[in-house]
Chain A
Amino acid sequence: MSGLEFFVGHYAYWFVVALLVLGLYGMIVKRNFVKKLIGMTIFQVAVIIFFISSAVKKGATIPIADKAVGTAESGLYVNPLQHTLMLTAIVVGVATAGVGYALLVTIFRRFRTLNEPELMERMRREREAAEKQGNDA
């Protein structure tokens, strides 16, 4: 098997790995919380693409009963199991992201920043001020 054939035969996996790495990079390296959420969304889409690409069959049609194709031979239809699972995953992912947006707005209202090191610094300062007040009282 030549190199080009190997790439063409597995291209979905290469691109999925690239997207997974991009999502992880966004979640770990980026300091802005909005960028972290964007990384999470990219990671989630990469996982969904991985599942959907595992359902593809060569020469098969979409999983809707067609009179011209018939229902006797299931190999003529794409496997619909992964589709139903990923449908749920998309909806759950949006709910997760919605909780993330709510947390971002709450953090910004209290600390006026979305930058992680800055937020840590402000939290530390606030805690020290509270401790000092407790010692004085």
Chain B
Amino acid sequence: MHWELEVTLFIFLVAAALLALESRNLLTAVVSLTVFSFLSALLYVAMGAVDVGFTEAVVGGGVSGVLFVVTIFKTTRTCRD
């Protein structure tokens, strides 16, 4: 609908994905992935998909992030790549 808003969100989305993949600390990676999920929810709303937007915000930004943090605290936090 508004291409300037969508391009800005896309650029932040790619930046968050890069940060999530490249950080050595896994907790940083997981927080970046939650930011990525929330930005994608904003993008869905900008594209007119409000139902998908709030499902992604609840499930991707909430449940998935909590599960990931629990996994990391049950395993290890360091990562070599």
Q: Which residues of A contact B (CB under 8 A)?
A: 8, 11-12, 15, 18-19, 22-23, 25-26, 29-32, 34-35, 37-39, 41-42, 45, 48-49, 52-53, 55-56, 60-64, 78, 82-83, 86-87, 90-91, 94, 97-98, 101, 104-105, 108, 113-115
Bound-complex Cα distance A53 to B21 (A): 24
Residue in A39, A63, A104, A108 whose CB lies within 8 Å of B21: A39
Number of interface residues, chain B, beta carbon within 8 A: 43
Q: Using Cβ atoms and an 8 Å threshold, which residues of chain A touch B30?
A: 34, 38
Bound-complex Cα distance A22 to B23 (A): 14
Q: Using Cβ atoms and an 8 Å threshold, which residues of chain A touch B79?
A: 32, 34-35, 114
The prevalent SS among residues of A at the interface is: helix
Of chain B, the residue at the smallest CB distance from A42 is: B17
Of chain A, the residue at the smallest CB distance from B32 is: A38
Contact assessment for A35 and B37 in the assembled complex, using a CB-CB cutoff below 8 Å? no
Contact assessment for A56 and B17 in the assembled complex, using a CB-CB cutoff below 8 Å? no
Q: Nearest Cβ distance between residue B72 and chain A, in whole angstroms?
A: 7
